[in-house]
Amino acid sequence: MNAYQPFIDIRRELHKIPELGYQEFKTQAFLLDYLQTLPSERLEIKPWKTGIFVKVHGSDPSQIIGYRTDIDGLPIGEETNLPFRSSHEGYMHACGHDLHMSIALGILTELTKHPIKDDVLFMFQPAEEGPGGAAPMIQSDIFKEWKPSYIIGLHIAPEHPVGTVATKEGLLFANTSELFIDLTGKGGHAAFPHKTNDMVVAACSLVTQLQSIVSRNVDPLDSAVITIGKITGGTVQNIIAEKTRLEGTIRTLSVESMKKVKERIQAMVHGIEVGYSCKANIDYGSMYHQVYNHHEITREFMDFVSDHTNANLVECKEAMTGEDFGYMIEEIPGFMFWLGVDSEYGLHHSKLSPKEEAIGTAIDVVTSYLRWKASK
């Protein structure tokens, strides 16, 4: 039997019950039930909102090491036809958090049964996809009591084959911000446009203008993305829309560019208000700090993977992906790495199907790294 099969089975059970941020009630209950099956003498378990803190006591601790996993799903209807597909219609673990959780439980289980010298704090964090769980979690009294010396996290990477660990020193993931813009004008009959202020036309004009920010206001040697992924407005085909709503995302590789992009968005939206005689409101929603891997500890991990494991280390480039783990490693040293799962479909896709062999790779790499680190 595959030694990691129990955690593959756990992944499949978790895959069936995806839940949105701060609604992970079944997920939390499942995790707590599993934790109760482990030897209790080395565990301290403290629920936090819909997440969990778990401290595994070491044999002779001199520090606390942090390990974070996210636990929420996405509002995406699954189209994989897997036998363990989501039982929650319209929701899916389309970002791999089911694998993340099963990997964390695998590492935790190993350290419970065969402890290392140091304590390890596992954080099962809710609401990574929104509205953001990392920042409030590290502000909690539990975190302050058990604050780690450094922290580790991972994220699945569909584009890399199983057996791959990909990371880099410095910037790994971008600064990100949600973007919601509401436009309100004056609706009316489609036959009398001169008596209205058409918000469909205003929205279309604004979307076109927004695309000029990256090409004309951001340093060409920097990078930024503005994507409007959803537009809603109007009621039927022969009524001019009084309201429209644009929903999108901003991603930049620097804090300075994020500030500049938002300044230009504000200016353009104000211009739409004047030009189309309407009212506008901007909401930036959840904002995620960049994931900036601390140089020394990341390089040490990369050297360990190359020299002491069977995993294939890839020194990757930074990505425009957003991850609120960035708030954690802004607070304390740490790093995140990509875990290859070799899926034809990418993150947030309704047909994402990671190869489950990656679960064993991650458990082995992280556990062996923690043992090596604690023995130094």
Q: Which sequence positions are flagged as catalytic? A: 70, 129
Closest CA to 341 of 96, 177, 174, 12: 96
CB-CB contact of 341 with 11 (8 Å) = no
Closest CA to 250 of 265, 233, 232, 231: 265
Task: Using DSSP, state whether 89 is helix, strand or coil.
Answer: coil
Token duo for residue 371: 């043992």
Looking at this protein, which amino acid is placed at residue 104?
A: A
Q: Are strands 279-283 and 64-70 parallel, antiparallel or unpaired?
A: unpaired
Sign, Cα dihedral of 349, 355, 360, 361: negative
- To which H or E segment does residue 23 belong? none
- Whether omega for the bond prior to residue 131 falls within 30 degrees of 0, making it cis, is yes
Residue 110, number of CB atoms within 10 A of its CB: 19
CB-CB contact of 79 with 137 (8 Å) = no
- Provide DSSP, 341-353: ---SS-TT-TT--
Cross-strand bridge partners of residue 188: 240
- Provide DSSP, 117-174: SSEEEEEEE--TTTT-SHHHHHTSHHHHHT--SEEEEEEEETTSPTTEEEE-SEEEE-
Place of tokens 């300044």: 263
Looking at this protein, which amino acid is placed at residue 211?
A: Q
